[in-house]
Structure 1
């Protein structure tokens, strides 16, 4: 029989699902926000009065405990300690703030660039963080983008009924498409509307036509005239109503048609200054509920207990809990913190909830309203089980941990190997069974330096996840000392998670160290115009123990090629075609093609007089540094040319590709040109980074090798939609996924000498990967390709899809089905990323953490680029690729 002590233990330690919370601010932004807001909705001048409120006075006492300060510490003392925490071990502090939180359902529509992305919070909770999609934020983002694109009627155009109607239809279609996408996103647990704050809960329910009409009228008369000044905030009655009703209709359809049931939250506030109390009565929602929308999504209406903790006094919290439990079944109550911006709010909310909840439940048991067993079950339900059921989560309530052994977070359990604090520089560790083995071949370096006696600097370079070539420049003496002492270059582990402009993503962690190990075999003299007497060398990441890091794309590729060779007797050669467009820039910063009298394989007088001297200079510089150029020629677009490199073992081929591309772009720069790898730099031209891959063996029979070749590409075909996230890694890449363009093709298919499919079989043993462009990290892209192929070889897959020797776009559906061509190529980066997230086959052979971080970074990159207008985004990418 359970006792009150058993009850107290459960209430104090049961892990919780926080069904309503918000992102934390970046540390650099926290100082600009006042922690006084933790206990009040007041703002501005009214905020100062908060210091005399019961909720604030109680929070001060509890924060002394959190900050480990004396009982007489003042608010100013707390703020001084907090400033030290922000400058110090902030993440360790957050681990404490999130103690006891199992899962967070996070409304990430409150802020954007000033906060951590939702999944960054996974590092601090026991399981993970899911998104709650705020529909008004989705709508505002779409309207803001329409304005950037010039499709939102502003100014005099507001009075043009046809233009407004067309824009309304465009917006509504984009909004509903976005909602459907989010419904199908496994990281989205539900949706939320803040209509209570904007126009009130008194929604007008009507037929679809009338709802659309009301929305259009509000859009034209109320929203458009002021949208720019209000930063596209959605607060027009008919417009807000239509968003809620559209969302409910789509949620209803998903529940009926796809058995996907996701709730819709309505925030009703706590007497906030920006809320109309007369229109915030939840009873206004009764017509919406009885209309059948919400009842289809979930059977009941549930009550969220958040925000009163820590914004109400202790006595008030206990009173509210009693009232809620008196009028609402326990099975319909949900715990939340409604925490935002600060880790302290999560900590205070949970601490205060536990205290009030314990007092209320113990009173109920002592007064025989509940048995101890019933109270324990009530605690588990409100903390965990109710939210699990409502949001259809698959997680299980873990066992309670003792106070002496607190439960580790998922991040601590799964990423323990990532956390290290090694000193710099790192001295590499090597196997005890091979004591004489050295990490660097000093003889190779000695020979190289003697051949080039004037050498003064070494560029140590590596390619990051988003295809940016990073570098450290070392004087030759420092580089010699580094390799003689078996050392590496230490970098922050967090640097692998930043974007091209140091934009922080949630893949960044400030904890831990990585080491760049130069591969001496890649030493190559820089071209003769380099301002430094220098050479380049390609590096890979290694861990503290000197072993290969699994988060390094180059290492993943090395490991896969070794596995193919050792286990299957297969070696790969790869040859790359560098398609590049040369652009000139005017004084306004606009780009135009370098040559225009142009066609594939032509050699016009303009090309002879203008292009040939530069192209020849590039070819000569490549030859002089040991890069073999098989041929170069004009391609089909204005300013477009191609340099074809010789085939090499696959890792060496990519090392050489990077060094060659650098020469091409740097020589072009000296001629005031931009040589870009952008896949669609001009409307008239598209560029790829086609790779020719051949399978070779010294011990397999020809028939065995051919069988493995087909199994290899059967595995590739099967995973091609997921591979596209790595091969075509930017939204603009998908402009080349089209019919009749001789690019990537629009269908998942392969064919002998067929340039309208993503995989062209050149001949037995040699294939061309056409769905690859210059935005990709080729180590990562080819690693994924080999991982898919390895799965095919080891599973002995049979190539079910037949050889397509015609343009699949010109075939009938029946003809394509006969060939086994049934799936289209992804048409957007997000579609490819969703395939990649669920590609368990790839994660068997590649580092799952590397793939997860890559997905996070590509979404963050897309968000950053989407905030630019089209012209700015286009120039930004051209300048970097």
Structure 2
């Protein structure tokens, strides 16, 4: 029997796709935090007017049309006036704000969020919006925001007197350019960053100097004037043409570097063009100015934002004749009338291929902004395509393909997102048969004898039944050289390929993760299989019970039901690092997250928890941290007479003629393996700042450069492995045990700097010190940890206190100018992700409390030498826990810290510690000591 050909798509099918196909919004901004909703007039949702000019917006077509649609959104009466509408809106926010948000983001698959708006403490972080979309949001980095934040940090303590110093401006320029380049490079490698953006258009215009060397030479005097203004605290806004041009050119240079081949494209670069507030110079916002710049950087995709309105034709010409230029058709929805929107789309489609057009909302502040843009674009787009189909310029199938491209496919490909459109192609058939209407005067050449639904009837009430055929989500006219991704993006393939090019000899990848008891787990994967995993977006599945096993591999509970579930281990390619050259086979290590089957974060993942807290600090409080570790290690030799692994004294110190900062002949004889450690770290790109002997026998300290929290801990763990492995190659045992012998203990102090430092007291004294007893449960998690913490031994002491350069307190202030503190109650038994998470969570609680005065005072004395009255004078009323049981009890009672860390994390940690303590209690003292030395 001959198969019948499926019926061809019709206008009804086009309507269904146009109204319902998922959207990738390639340019949006963050929602404003609800407590700040009143700071911006809601009327700005449809206009760029400000101040007195805003009064006239109520009589504009964009406002009147949006007001009608908002009445429908809030379920108001049709004759409700603007004040009634606003009252209903406020009621929705009071009664059920989440319902409003979900409704406003209906149909949005993913958002690319430019999070560089001023005052980030008033806006939600970019990943906050994931709750309303099908796929995770990605960042767009505004380069001017990066530069302004850096300059604020650099000159925050400078004065007018510094301007007269010979090297001040030179040093400032070098710091500024080095830090700017570092941040852009990091963003290029960050898979959370989809692209970059400049607002040079409404700062100094689009007539950008196209030659990088010329731009760099022109910066001198304007930069000096800019620095003077910053020191005088006028503002940090960069509005000097040579400097603005330089930032654009430097970013483009960085994006163009180290591409795999001459045909490769970098991460996209968005340019604000067209619509803007009254700061914009309309004459200089014409994208035609960009042509020389576009030609000089053929490997950087340029995205011309906001339809370049009113210069849409000029932007369309660039998008047509250059393969790496794209036109975004956002912001005119809902800022322009319906006719204006139609005219803009017509102009865009006069020349521009459908594969070069991108949808965006430019939504910001209010959820309704995304809603209106979504609704109005779909409405006008469908209206226009229906007209082109009627005239015979497009077939319905071509119109459907073009719709899928502009809404989803083009952004998905350009930004290398690798998302998969989830869409039911079927539609509900009207009750009567479709017939062809040859009357050319009707609106559509395909018409049903039944009533035709309006253009947006499906938007919030999608049909699921049909006899219509499904059509592929791939554009029918897209180029075969750009097939749609087959898997959702999980990894930054560009970052991985860069690593492979630099390390072609690597054969094995050690995929690692750290459990709650700080044991590093590993799966070793050949590079070929790892490459396949990365390209196909796969993770490694392990039993949920794997995260609930003690150091002896015994489940924490015999009837642990977690053995029935799966954890999906996802390598974080940012931590991918070549191992030392003494590895048996050339290898690399990579640290990992724990994910669910659908790729979302597991709440109990210590690594992800740290990243979330760091993001909270950055995006909700405009602060960042740098963390540097002092890694103390004791090197041991196995006693020749010891053959029993459970011998109470199988180890002795590697060196006995030993002291703080000494290098005796006995120590010198051990330098070969220590030099192997130092050279291996250097080859791996791990920056060691200092190395010296410590006070205990066989004890040395390695001091490392400060890094962002996640990177600092990843580097710490990779360093530990190098030290352990190099020691083992020389027959030496390295241990982090805090008290392997009587006397001086072994710590792992954490140095933390808060940027900007203005609120460092609130963070550390108001937060960290306040919750110190509970933090100790994570930072000193074994009974042996508390034998190290003694008074009068520069070990942090036993009292909850802080002091400037005071090593007898657990919290030492090193520099108030840089917000630099040292956490001394921290040792090598700790899972560093959990311990640092507890510190940041406590600091966040201190920032939220917003104290300005603190009972704990700067202590310049040893607190153990004070009597009770003397300690009360300094606000010292608590001791550090004297045992792990006390610390765990303090954690359980610290409800605020438990909530800040998350019940899942704390609950799993307590469960693991209870099981471990029971196991260790069954051992003799000597057996327990050896057991821990062998594992830490």
Q: Specify the SS of the correspondent of 1:262.
A: coil
Contact 1:254/1:261 (8 A) holds in 2: no
Alignment partner of 1:102 is 2:54: no
Contact 1:745/1:758 (8 A) holds in 2: no
State TM-score, norm by structure 1.
0.52
> Matched residues in 2 for 1:62 and 1:879: separation?
59
> Matched residues in 2 for 1:176 and 1:155: separation?
27
Pick from 243, 251, 254 the counterpart of residue 247 of structure 2. Answer: 243
> Matched residues in 1 for 2:227 and 2:139: separation?
28
Pick from 51, 66, 71 the counterpart of residue 64 of structure 1. Answer: 71
Pick from 192, 207, 221 the counterpart of residue 197 of structure 2. Answer: 192
Equivalent residue for 1:140? 148
Equivalent residue for 2:524? none
> Matched residues in 2 for 1:213 and 1:184: separation?
28
> Matched residues in 2 for 1:277 and 1:679: separation?
42
In structure 2, do the counterparts of structure 1 residues 223 and 197 end up closer, same or farther at CA, with 3 Å as the change threshold? farther
Deviations 1:240-286 (A, max 9, x none): 01000000000001434897821110001315311001111111111
> Matched residues in 1 for 2:627 and 2:391: separation?
74
In structure 2, do the counterparts of structure 1 residues 184 and 360 end up closer, same or farther at CA, with 3 Å as the change threshold? same
Contact 2:268/2:300 (8 A) holds in 1: no
Contact 1:94/1:124 (8 A) holds in 2: yes
Q: Specify the SS of the correspondent of 2:257.
A: helix
Equivalent residue for 2:385? 361
RMSD (CA atoms)? 5.3
In structure 2, do the counterparts of structure 1 residues 249 and 861 end up closer, same or farther at CA, with 3 Å as the change threshold? farther
Equivalent residue for 1:164? 169
Task: State the 1:87 CA deviation.
Answer: 2.6
> Matched residues in 1 for 2:341 and 2:839: separation?
39
Equivalent residue for 1:336? 360
In structure 2, do the counterparts of structure 1 residues 769 and 365 end up closer, same or farther at CA, with 3 Å as the change threshold? farther
Alignment partner of 1:565 is 2:550: no
In structure 2, do the counterparts of structure 1 residues 22 and 93 end up closer, same or farther at CA, with 3 Å as the change threshold? same
> Matched residues in 2 for 1:315 and 1:200: separation?
28
Q: What is the number of equivalent residue pairs in this alignment?
A: 521
State TM-score, norm by structure 2.
0.49
Alignment partner of 1:389 is 2:413: yes
Alignment partner of 1:377 is 2:381: no
Pick from 253, 266, 270 the counterpart of residue 271 of structure 2. Answer: 266
Q: Specify the SS of the correspondent of 1:191.
A: strand
Deviations 1:339-396 (A, max 9, x none): 1000000000100000000001111111111110100000000001100111111111
> Matched residues in 1 for 2:732 and 2:747: separation?
8
Task: State the 1:32 CA deviation.
Answer: 2.1
Contact 1:690/1:772 (8 A) holds in 2: no
Equivalent residue for 1:231? 235
> Matched residues in 2 for 1:687 and 1:736: separation?
10
Equivalent residue for 1:697? none
Contact 2:114/2:141 (8 A) holds in 1: yes
Alignment partner of 1:129 is 2:137: yes
Task: State the 1:769 CA deviation.
Answer: 8.0
Q: Specify the SS of the correspondent of 1:110.
A: coil
In structure 2, do the counterparts of structure 1 residues 304 and 329 end up closer, same or farther at CA, with 3 Å as the change threshold? same
In the TM superposition, 1:167-178 aligns within 5 A as: 167-178=172-183
> Matched residues in 1 for 2:421 and 2:839: separation?
28
In structure 2, do the counterparts of structure 1 residues 265 and 353 end up closer, same or farther at CA, with 3 Å as the change threshold? same
Unaligned runs of 5+ in 2: 1-7, 304-322, 428-457, 465-515, 517-543, 559-624, 636-643, 650-685, 695-699, 705-718, 751-767, 783-817, 820-830, 860-873, 881-936
Equivalent residue for 1:399? 423
In structure 2, do the counterparts of structure 1 residues 80 and 19 end up closer, same or farther at CA, with 3 Å as the change threshold? same
Task: State the 1:79 CA deviation.
Answer: 1.3
Contact 1:23/1:340 (8 A) holds in 2: yes
> Matched residues in 2 for 1:67 and 1:311: separation?
20
Contact 1:248/1:293 (8 A) holds in 2: no
Q: Specify the SS of the correspondent of 2:135.
A: coil
Task: State the 1:126 CA deviation.
Answer: 1.1
In structure 2, do the counterparts of structure 1 residues 704 and 89 end up closer, same or farther at CA, with 3 Å as the change threshold? farther
Equivalent residue for 1:113? 121
> Matched residues in 1 for 2:153 and 2:192: separation?
24
Contact 1:60/1:75 (8 A) holds in 2: yes
In structure 2, do the counterparts of structure 1 residues 293 and 349 end up closer, same or farther at CA, with 3 Å as the change threshold? same
Pick from 354, 375, 396 the counterpart of residue 351 of structure 1. Answer: 375
Equivalent residue for 2:220? 216
Alignment partner of 1:182 is 2:187: yes
Contact 1:744/1:756 (8 A) holds in 2: no
In the TM superposition, 1:649-664 aligns within 5 A as: none
Task: State the 1:771 CA deviation.
Answer: 3.6
Task: State the 1:148 CA deviation.
Answer: 1.8
> Matched residues in 2 for 1:760 and 1:750: separation?
14
Task: State the 1:564 CA deviation.
Answer: 3.8
Pick from 18, 24, 28 the counterpart of residue 25 of structure 2. Answer: 18
Deviations 1:142-181 (A, max 9, x none): 000012243xxx5354465642222112101110111001
In structure 2, do the counterparts of structure 1 residues 128 and 568 end up closer, same or farther at CA, with 3 Å as the change threshold? closer
Equivalent residue for 2:97? 90
Contact 2:25/2:110 (8 A) holds in 1: yes
Equivalent residue for 1:518? none
Pick from 310, 322, 332 the counterpart of residue 346 of structure 2. Answer: 322
Deviations 1:449-479 (A, max 9, x none): xxxxxxxxxxxxxxxx9xxxxxxxxxxxxxx
In structure 2, do the counterparts of structure 1 residues 278 and 297 end up closer, same or farther at CA, with 3 Å as the change threshold? closer
